[in-house]
Amino acid sequence: MAKTIPIYPEKTTVLSSNPNSEWDDDGLDYMPMPKDMESYHAPILPEPEEVVGMSATQHVMQTLYAALQQYQQDKKDFYLSLNELDTENLRLVGQILGDGEVKIHCEGQQSVKIQESVMAGIWQIQYLNQDQEITDISIAVCPVPECVHTVTEADNQASFDLADMPDNLMNAPSILNEIQAKQKSITRGQAAHVINISLLPITEEDQQYLKQKLGYGHTRILSRGYGNCRITSTKIKNVWWVQYFNSMDQLILNTIEIVDIPQVAHAAEEDIADTTHRLKNLLQDYLDWVV
């Protein structure tokens, strides 16, 4: 039977299937734009006496902390199923982890919603069926969950055709030739090749032809920091639309990145190290769940 109780019951909607629409679901509504750079804020937790007897959540948190310690040594991704947790424990796990800066939605052969914790490198992952019921819930310790790679690799085309380009284009042909030359040789973990559209003279015809050839894929990512970065996969493997907006929600940088997954969506190694210390402090100093 499909699960219908998510970690965050009030956030069960997903992104619009229209690639050109705004991120209009409740879980991805834009927060008020920050005046300063986003920084870590500890999650709002219940009083310690309120979690007495929540042994399932305590076990999850202690297992998660041990996984973070192990990750510092071997850099291997870790996944932990939450399918056996009851509603009360699921809510508490979600409350302890909180909502971080990065949200990911994959809508291809599988529908997946991913929310980074306020502690970077801890991800909450929900798989949904065709009725948008949650069938699997897990948490992960990694720079970015493996399912993002899986969806983009499975659903995207290997290449595109450059024949019969219109004569009224300015820079679209050279951009597409550059993309085609680079995208076939990209391997996982390789540094991105970035094409800065903001610095190039681009006509309306150029823009329409780029959208026609590259299209929109099944993965969307919202990364908030100072302002936010909106990332959308194209229908071509290893090619992404990446747009940066300032705190006034004005587009300040418009790029195409040729990479397996843009780096801005990853949790940095040093941030995961900080997460290890932060989770330890929560478990010891606040919840008194000695690790």
What band does 7 get if pLDDT is binned at 50, 70 and 90? very low
> How far apart, in Å, are the Cα atoms of 231 and each of 26, 46, 70?
18, 34, 30
SS3 237: coil
**The pTM is what?**
0.83
Instruction: Report yes or no: 60 and 107 within 8 Å, Cβ to Cβ.
Output: no
* Amino acid identity for residue 186 in this structure: I
User: Quick count: other Cβ atoms within 10 Å of Cβ 182?
Assistant: 16
26-32+39-143+267-286 and 156-265 in the same fold: yes
Architecture of domain 26-32+39-143+267-286: 2-Layer Sandwich (3.30)
Distance CA 223, CA 169 (A): 32
At 137-154, the pLDDT tens digits run: 999 999 999 999 988 887
- pLDDT(184) > 80: yes
DSSP state of 121: T
Sorted by where each begins, the domain ranges of the chain are: 26-32+39-143+267-286, 156-265
At 92-103, the pLDDT tens digits run: 999 999 999 999
Mean pLDDT across 237-255: 92
Distance CA 126, CA 214 (A): 28
| The pLDDT value given to residue 39 | 59
| Highest CATH level, class, for 156-265 | alpha beta
At 9-26, the pLDDT tens digits run: 333 333 333 334 344 444
